[in-house]
Structure 1
Amino acid sequence: MSAGKAKGHGPPRRKHHDDEHDEAHADERWLVTYADMVTLLMVLFIVMFAMSTVDERKYAQLKDGLAEGFGREQSILTGASPVSNAKGVGDPGEASYEMLLAQVPESQRENVTKILDEAARLKNERAQGAARAEVDRLLKVWKRIDEALRHQGLRDDVRATIDERGLVVSLVSQHVVFEPDIAELTERGRRVVDTIAPVLADLTEPIELDGHTNQEPVKPRYYPSDWELSLARAANVLHRLEDSHGIRARRLRATGFGHTKPLVDPARHGSQRVNKRVDILVLSQQPAETRALMGQAYDELRREAGLDGLPTDPAGDGTASGPHAAAGVPTRSRGEDPS
């Protein structure tokens, strides 16, 4: 009886041993999934980092906090940050990106690089789309200004364009908006500003007034130099917008550029009468990466409208271009008296 029991108990013990062996292998399978998850998480964080910017001050605070939290010696992390050390005097963000990418297993780096390149491409496409949308919005603002000026017969006193700053409306002295050496607006100049002001009042963006003089090497009669004259011209337009049209002062600022930024080449015939001017800038509030692409977006819009290659024409020879042209608004016919 005892022998039979011994014989009967043999196989179950072997089966129990096999079950333990299988369980051990089953318990280790989670390591494969875990390793894949960790790799994907690392890729995710690299992509997120690549789409952001590095704040060195916050990085330093994080570095010090981690050092204290883990009981590390401060001397380990003193001196130049590892972000800068990675590439000497190179870009901190680029160095940190390379440091993170170096942590990815060699077999995964190609895939990670592709993911990051695709993320950068999508980010650039979003910025280009935002730039195009902002240019379209500013062109609508210009269209309102253009219609108001045409209704008053003042269209030829203004030229406009769009660049990385926003919409630039130039009050040129084609019809004596500013008399020589004088900062005060003429009667016609006041009419121009009064016509534009209601459109500006409906906006929320900051408005910059940039004063300019022509390039004649003559000292102004009533000002120490052309710097003061240009600033006084900008200030006069600013006061007109604030005092007569209620545009809040916090939205306005005036700057003088003297003779340093001519609208057209000073050697060109007739340039002197338009280079003395005030530029009214509707400053775009888009992020810097979007504003940097606005000039390109505006040029593309002009090409699509068949206006690429047309020279600007603030002197009035009939080949004017700008937002009015891009919007399909006719320009002045050749030969019309610009004075």
Structure 2
Amino acid sequence: MSRRRRRRNEGPSHQQERWLITYADLLTLLLIFFIIMYAVSTIDAEKYEAVSGSLQTTFQAGSSILDGGPKITGQQGQQTPGSAGNGSGAPSGGGDAQIAPDPETEPTARELAFREQERQLAGFLETIESYVADNNLQDQIFVADKPQGISITLSDRFLFDVGQAQLKPGAAGILDRLSSLFGSIDAAISIEGHTDNQPIRGGRYTDNWELSGDRALSVLRYFIDNRGLNPTQFQYAGYADTRPVGDNATLAGRQQNRRVEITVLRQLRSDGTTAPAASAE
């Protein structure tokens, strides 16, 4: 009986001490953890100064390592082996680092050309508006600054006879004035012919498509043949009655639709250059 009681008493005492093993493992892990943290937190002051100095030089120069800019340097400011900016692993030449221009602030040649063109267009607009006002041509010539360019709309009343595409003698005044201004602008010029929706009965042209195209071509040929302007500067098209600006059901609306639109386009030529400004005649 006494042996059985003794065995029963030894069992629970042995099981109660097993938590010490887990506790000891936990303390060991904590000790290892703090040793690792201490080792990681140790800073080499010399290396830290070298790295921070090199980073400061790089940011001030505005260039990156990939672009061949300053590299991480050693204690005396020399570049580390294999980090020279010339790509050969040799130290680069002495002297202060050149600060590269910021591409976001430096305008490109094309941007400068657009700015020059806008200056020319502004002067052109002011000149043609003054010409229209001085000659009381507000009912025949309409000038507008549109997103695509400066638009000059000419009524067919002083350009052509009814159903014809041959220019009237009185049209030379405004066309000569425009020619002198076109010579001072480096921009493409579009000439568009428009008609009303009334069908053509008899005569040379079979429909409004032919009439509108020939009217635009007549204005174009005047600029090229009579005034000697550069043919590469121009383009023309005929739209018949497909782009009305007035109501074709009324007499006044049809008169508005019979027109030639000349637009100095906001676009550079293919070479992207600008011609020197010339004074208007």
Q: Tell me the TM-score normalised to structure 2 length.
A: 0.52
Corresponding letter in the other structure for 2:216:
A
Instruction: Provide structure 2 residue ranges, at least 5 long, that are not aligned to the other structure.
Output: 1-33, 49-113, 269-281
| Superposition deviation, residue 220 in structure 1 | 5.8
Report the structure number with the largest CA radius of gyration: 2
1:290-305 correspondence runs (5 A) = none
Deviation per CA, 1:7-30: give whole Å up to 9, x if none.
xxxxxxxxxxx99863423469x9
CA offsets, 1:204-246, max 9 Å, x none? 1100000111221334621122111111101111111112222
The letter for the 1-side match of 2:237 is T
Paired-residue identity, %: 23
TM-superposed CA distance for 1:167, in Å, is 1.2
Q: Structure 2 vs 1, CA of residues 239 and 167 (structure 1 numbering), >3 Å: closer, same or farther? A: same
Please tell me the residue identity of whatever aligns with 2:265. L
Work out whether 1:277 is the aligned partner of 2:220.
Answer: no
Q: What is the 5 A alignment of 1:1-339?
A: 22-26=38-42, 138-152=121-135, 154-173=137-156, 175-219=157-201, 221-285=203-267
Question: Which whole-Å CA distance do the structure 2 matches of 1:162 and 1:156 have between them?
Answer: 18
| Paired amino acid for 2:160 | F
TM-score of the aligned structures, taking structure 1 as reference length: 0.43
Distance 1:170 1:21 in 2: 81
Do the aligned residues in 2 keep the contact of 1:159 with 1:169 (CA within 8 Å)? Answer: yes
Displacement after TM superposition at 1:277 (Å): 1.4
Q: Distance in 1 between matches of 2:207 and 2:142?
A: 26
Q: Secondary structure at the match of 2:260?
A: strand
Inter-CA distance 172–136: structure 2 relative to 1 (3 Å threshold): farther
CA drift of 1:192 comes to 1.9
SS at 2:243 equivalent = coil
Structure 1 gaps, min length 5: 1-17, 31-130, 287-339
CA contact (8 A) 1:149 1:196 kept: no
The 3-state SS of whatever aligns with 1:181 is coil
Q: Is the Cα contact below 8 Å between 2:244 and 2:257 reproduced in 1?
A: yes
Number of aligned pairs? 171
Deviations 1:40-72 (A, max 9, x none): xxxxxxxxxxxxxxxxxxxxxxxxxxxxxxxxx
Going from structure 1 to structure 2, the CA distance change for 1:190 and 1:149 (only over 3 Å counts) comes to: same
Alpha-carbon distance between aligned partners in 2 of 1:254 and 1:21, rounded to the nearest angstrom: 79
Q: Using the TM superposition, give the Cα deviation of residue 265 of structure 1 relative to its aligned residue in structure 2, in angstroms.
A: 1.9
Q: Deviations over 1:105-158 (max 9, x none)?
A: xxxxxxxxxxxxxxxxxxxxxxxxxx9x99886454222012234445544321
Cα distance, 1:248 vs structure 2: 0.5
